[in-house]
Structure 1
Amino acid sequence: MHSASPMRKVFQGVPDRRQMFRMFDRHAQRPNRWKDDAGELYIGEWFEISERDHDHMFEILPPLWMRGDMFAMREFLTGSVTSVFFALTIDGEIRHFHGYCDLSDKPSPDRMRAAIVDRESRPVKAMTRTERLEHIWSATHDDYRGYAGERWPEDMRGKRTITVYGGSRGTTLKLLDDLTDEEISAKLPVHLRYLPDAIAA
């Protein structure tokens, strides 16, 4: 029996190829990188990609499998977790996406497809607080993001941290989840700052 991981959009817009490859391993800085199974960090993450990058990934290696509007990468990220790529018709337009699915949970690619179509079919472009935080994490350079270590209280260790600029107060390190609305707005690109809040599905 598998517990369904939440499907979550981790980047707003279409990244360029450099950003895409960087987001394939968004959690590279995690503690104990080589000692733990990080599948739970990745399962359910998805973002849009360009048609060119979708086709590029298809040509790298023969897919593990192809099924209608999706294919799975032959190389696994960890355990039974691998990249699944989608070419989906949404509002009459073909768009392309990447997501991480646990293939030991056979329905997971279909659940991801449904989640993507549902999220991207909404008539008003909006972002939840979680989507805003995930976009900030995806877009921030490794030098300015990390994980709470031994200097943090024990209950905070291992949580994601990010550098915040405080004007005359200089920079501080905060937990990503503790950013205020003002700090979130300051870290988003201008075209995303004023999108309405979306109600989480």
Structure 2
Amino acid sequence: MEIYWGGSLAEQIEFLAKGIADVILSKDNVMEAMMAESTQNYMPLIGYPSYTAFFISAREKPRINKAYFLDKTIGLVDYPTSRSAHILPKQVFKQLDIDLSALQIVYASSHSALRELLSKGEVDIIASYWQEQDQQRFSKNYITAIADNVSGSKWYIKMADENTDLACALQVSISDVVNDVQSSYFNKLRHYWQCDSAPYKFIGGDESEN
């Protein structure tokens, strides 16, 4: 078994386009762009819940206007497919007619690294999601929503054969690992395979994520 962790977007695209990965964590926009479900037979196992993306500050409630951002240091993740911490905030800047070169942007490797930058005062604002443990360091009064109902990532399995036993076993294993993480975000995982009775059934993607 080979495991690849923290690959770049280019590597993820290559894995999907060539069908290299048997199991992969990806996002709807990447899967759709690569047509990976139809061309490489990737099917979802588990979907993370939808969430809200925020601008988060340590000292004040962020305002969505051009003048506010121009004198702030802003923390984003250095990962172009991250919606909450890269795509959506940059969409806000574009809507406000702000040239990115006019902004002081600091890129971090992860959402955790963003929070470290904010807590140390190295940035004024970060773009991310809000989690319960954030209240230990930051105030919920100092967050401003960027977008609601942002779809979460999904674990996909490459199903060249109808190996439903394998799909169900992986779904259980991934659920066990995820549920060990103490976060309310994982309380509403969407399971795409109904595995508690035979024959196993795939639950289509048109149903609610919740």
Q: Same fold per TM (> 0.5)?
A: no
Greater relative contact order: 1 or 2 (C-alpha under 8 angstroms, separation 6 or more)? Answer: 2
More helix by share: 2
TM interval, shorter chain, is under 0.3
- Normalising by structure 2, we get a TM-score of 0.25
